[in-house]
């Protein structure tokens, strides 16, 4: 199927401010697929990730395995062509589930957590770093629970 002929209907949930793991899992836990969109506060940078499998809730930590997730960054919110797309390198640690965290991709390749700090590592379980630094950052986040994909 030609990817350009896909229509995606989705239910959107926007969570603003400090995002607790409990709030994230209350909204997105046990649902899939999801898209996470993170605006880095004080900049034009947008970070995000796609998770095609369930966010597992109520556990200390657990890695979800999939080869189909990805993380992405846009340096300028007004230029979608200026982006970095990073695909899974280590399928066994592609999704990080933790009751204290929002969405986690890999071993801190992209993690949203007020407890551990919002961060991106310099490449661990995905093939490219999506930020130039691994410093923590403040954010405004949106999480979308994709409802269904319909072929046209």
- Please state the domain extents for the chain: 15-146
Determine what percent of the chain falls in helix, strand and coil, rounding each to the nearest 5: 10, 40, 50
Instruction: Report the distance separating Cα 145 and Cα 103, nearest Å.
Output: 12
pTM reported for the whole predicted model = 0.81
Query: pLDDT band at residue 25, thresholds of 50, 70 and 90?
Result: confident
Instruction: Report the distance separating Cα 91 and Cα 27, nearest Å.
Output: 25
pLDDT in tens, 28-42: 788 888 888 888 888
Instruction: Report the distance separating Cα 109 and Cα 60, nearest Å.
Output: 19
Task: Return the DSSP state at 14.
Answer: E
Instruction: Report the distance separating Cα 138 and Cα 116, nearest Å.
Output: 12
pLDDT at residue number 94: 96
């Amino acid at each position: 199927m030609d990817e350009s002929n896909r229509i995606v209907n989705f239910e959107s949930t926007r969570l603003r401010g400090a995002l607790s793991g409990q709030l994230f899992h209350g909204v997105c836990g046990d649902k899939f697929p999801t898209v996470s969109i993170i605006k880095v506060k004080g900049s034009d940078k947008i970070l995000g990730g796609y998770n095609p499998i369930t966010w597992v809730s109520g556990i200390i930590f657990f890695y979800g395995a999939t080869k189909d997730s990805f993380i992405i960054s846009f340096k300028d919110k007004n230029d979608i062509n200026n982006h970095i797309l990073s695909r899974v390198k280590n399928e066994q640690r592609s999704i990080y589930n933790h009751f204290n965290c929002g969405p986690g991709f890999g071993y801190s390749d992209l993690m949203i957590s007020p407890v551990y700090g919002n961060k991106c590592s310099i490449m661990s379980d995905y093939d490219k770093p999506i930020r130039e630094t691994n410093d923590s950052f403040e954010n405004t986040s949106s999480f979308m629970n994709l409802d269904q994909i319909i072929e046209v």
